[in-house]
Amino acid sequence: MQLRADALPQQLAKALRPIYTIYGDEPLLAQEAADAIRAAARAQGYGERKVFTVAGAYFDWGPVLGAAQALSLFAERQFIEIRIPSGKPGKEGSEALQRYCAALPEDVVTLVTLPKLDKTQTNSAWFSALDGAGVTVRVDPVDRRALPQWIAQRLVAQGQRVPEGEVGQRTLAFFADRVEGNLLAAHQELQKLALLHPKGELSFEQIESAVLNVARYDVFKLSEAVLAGHVPRLLRMLEGLEAEGEAAVLVHWSLAEDIRALKRVRDAVDAGKPLPMALRESRVWGAKERLFERIVPGLRAADLTRLVEAAQVCDGLVKGLRHPDWPLDAWAALRRLALMLAETVVARGPRLVLQA
């Protein structure tokens, strides 16, 4: 049974399942989910805890299988954790996990923790066995659009809140800007606010003075901001990536790949292919697929030719070449290319607004 992370507390309150699997690439939410399962198990008498970390190709699964069948020496019930940091148990591990799930004893609760998994891994026999035997919780990063609401909910949980209306929205947006891409830091800043100020309403000035700028930016999230035509956010992200020491070549690759993909899809549509087919053939999916669906119909051949030429010039600039009509600094050139793409998106199609 698969659950969202926010639905786990309600499930734990109803009944404790014999095995839980947590996977995903958001450390804070994964840790909170695991802590909630441990706490529920302790409350129901699962006092003895054993932890196994699967590391290396020659991990011995015998003790894991034996632990679940052994009687506890110190408590009537056992809590067993199986940590697989690589997300790849291997052939022997796959067989062991399937045997483990097929013979779960009544006096054992098991927690399996995994990193983010790809489609092949989630379709594997071992993962299907885990999912079929208990509860599977996927923890995903909180994206920028949902981050202000996430912050607001966390504030309410600790007895604090922002003002109603536009002032409150501006306050949450400011907070989100400072912690984007770094949920652990967001959690720490929230805890700091609980220590600095009493329960009740927090002003913008109180949050502004307390919350540090601990955002981390992602090249691929930058791509979404550019394709959404959100100029303030893309400029902020470029500044953050530069400050974090990200390679200008990687940022250029991301922007240029978007431009090339837009051209491929537009050319395919002009050749008579339906847009969904053109997107699939160009391997555009997920959040970008939705953005492309809005962008491509309004694009003109001249727009794409201009953008492709600009990407070629920028490619030389980030590798140390010069161009008389472009800035010498690689990051200034990247800002120019990103703005050209964003402005084209805004001019040729409906603007997609991401929260600032």
Whether 355 is covered by a domain: the verdict is no
Q: What is the largest CA-CA distance in the chain?
A: 78
Tell me: do 127 and 7 sit in the same domain.
yes
pLDDT of residue 66: 86
Checking if the pLDDT of 355 tops 60, the result is: no
Average pLDDT for residues 57-67, to the nearest whole number? 86
Range name among 68-77, 92-101, 343-352 with the lowest pLDDT average: 68-77
Please tell me which residue, 349 or 10, carries the higher pLDDT value.
10
How far apart CA 16 and CA 29 sit, in angstroms, is: 20
Percentage, residues of the chain above pLDDT 70: 96
275 exposed, middle or buried (CB, 10 Å; 0-12, 13-18, 19+)?
middle
The answer to whether residues 19 and 104 touch, using CB atoms and an 8 Å cutoff, is yes
Domain C-terminal end among 85, 115, 139: 139
Tell me: do 231 and 327 sit in the same domain.
yes
In DSSP terms, 161 is beta-bridged to 201
Angle at 89 between CA 83 and CA 90, to 5 degrees: 165
Tell me: do 88 and 173 sit in the same domain.
no
Tell me: do 323 and 231 sit in the same domain.
yes
Average pLDDT for residues 46-71, to the nearest whole number? 84
Whichever domain contains 272, its CATH number is 1.20.272.10
CB within 8 Å of 230: residues ≥ 6 apart: 342, 352, 353, 354, 356
Tell me: do 274 and 333 sit in the same domain.
yes
Average pLDDT for residues 129-148, to the nearest whole number? 92
Whether 354 is covered by a domain: the verdict is no
Segments of the chain assigned E as strands: 2-4, 19-24, 48-53, 78-83, 108-114, 135-139, 160-161, 200-201
Task: Please name the helix (run of DSSP H) or strand (run of DSSP E) that holds residue 226, with its range, or none.
Answer: helix 219-227
Range name among 39-43, 106-110, 281-285, 342-346 with the lowest pLDDT average: 281-285
Among residues 176, 167, 168, the alpha carbon closest in space to that of 147 is found at: 176
How far apart CA 311 and CA 260 sit, in angstroms, is: 9
pLDDT of residue 177: 85
Q: Which domain range does residue 275 map to?
A: 219-348
352: pLDDT confidence band, cut at 50, 70 and 90?
Answer: very low
How far apart CA 17 and CA 29 sit, in angstroms, is: 20
Residue for token digits 């054993």? Answer: 50
Q: What number of other Cβ atoms are within 10 A of residue 242's Cβ?
A: 18
Tens of pLDDT, residue by residue over 147-171, are: 999 999 999 999 999 999 988 998 9
Task: Give the number of domains in the chain.
Answer: 3
pLDDT of residue 353: 42
How far apart CA 125 and CA 118 sit, in angstroms, is: 14
Tell me: do 224 and 298 sit in the same domain.
yes
pLDDT of residue 356: 41
Highest mean pLDDT among 57-71, 130-144, 283-297: 130-144
Tell me: do 38 and 107 sit in the same domain.
yes
Range name among 27-41, 53-67, 119-133, 308-322 with the lowest pLDDT average: 53-67
The answer to whether residues 226 and 342 touch, using CB atoms and an 8 Å cutoff, is yes
Percentage, residues of the chain above pLDDT 90: 64
Whether 269 is covered by a domain: the verdict is yes
Checking if the pLDDT of 120 tops 60, the result is: yes
Whichever domain contains 15, its CATH number is 3.40.50.300
